[in-house]
Amino acid sequence: MTDRVALITGGAKGIGRGIALDLAAQQWKVALCYRTSETEAEQTARAVTERGGQALAVRCDVSDPAAATALVTQVEQQWGRIDALINGAGPYHRVNLFEESVAGWNEMFDGNLHPVFYLARAVSPGMKSRKSGRIISFSMANADQMISQPDVTAHYIAKAGVLILTRTLAKLLAPYSITVNAISPGFIDSGSAPPEELAGMTKRIPAGYIGTVDDTVAAVRYLLSDEARYVNGANIQISGGWGI
């Protein structure tokens, strides 16, 4: 298929940008969803076009179920279909559980878990009608360990929820030749953390070094390929052995 369409939330920068540029090189049409990073989204959209793809940058708060549904409708009206949904958006903050506010607690679920449900529900009718599609969501490398996380509790629970939702969606959509998988990065140099902070984490990574955006993009490329047509409900860790 040469007329493939991807919707990437959090596609303006970091890992989302890397995925968008990789898809552009394969001549995908890429819809980039962003909430606040307008300048970065416009830059990424231009880079997608320069690499041979087509781009659409849309400001949308996907924590709003109506807005998430409208986003899917807009992309489908623009290009007629969505072949891949990549859930890359996800706010993060570090605060002790007993210092967390109710608003901060809810933000972690509204930003990391709920949009996966809203968007999957919106894209699945079109994918089911075509009997093809890919959904990829991002969790975190140790979210399946169910261990204490005093300073990132809500974020951690939300990311564990992403894994459960991924497996549930995979079971429901597999009869329609749709795959639903998760990618769980560990420490990745995506531009979101200071270099000195990442460097300090190196000693905790069995591989001995920090991962790159390209490491994560390669996993996405595989899951979108025909070679991964029988991979469903999986969780691929991109962590150099950290978190297992």
Query: Distance (Å, rounded) from C-alpha 214 to C-alpha 64?
Result: 31
Query: Distance (Å, rounded) from C-alpha 37 to C-alpha 47?
Result: 15
Helix 114-130 and helix 65-79: axis angle, to 10°?
30
Contact 184, 140 (CB under 8 A): yes
Query: Which pair of structure tokens corresponds to residue 215?
Result: 């490491």
Q: 3-state class of 102 per DSSP?
A: helix
Catalogue the active-site residues: 156
Query: Distance (Å, rounded) from C-alpha 159 to C-alpha 165?
Result: 10
Which residues, 6 or more positions from 174, have their beta carbon under 8 angstroms from its beta carbon?
232, 233
Which residues, 6 or more positions from 133, have their beta carbon under 8 angstroms from its beta carbon?
82, 83, 84, 85, 123, 124, 126, 127, 173, 176, 177, 178, 179
Amino acid present at 128: K
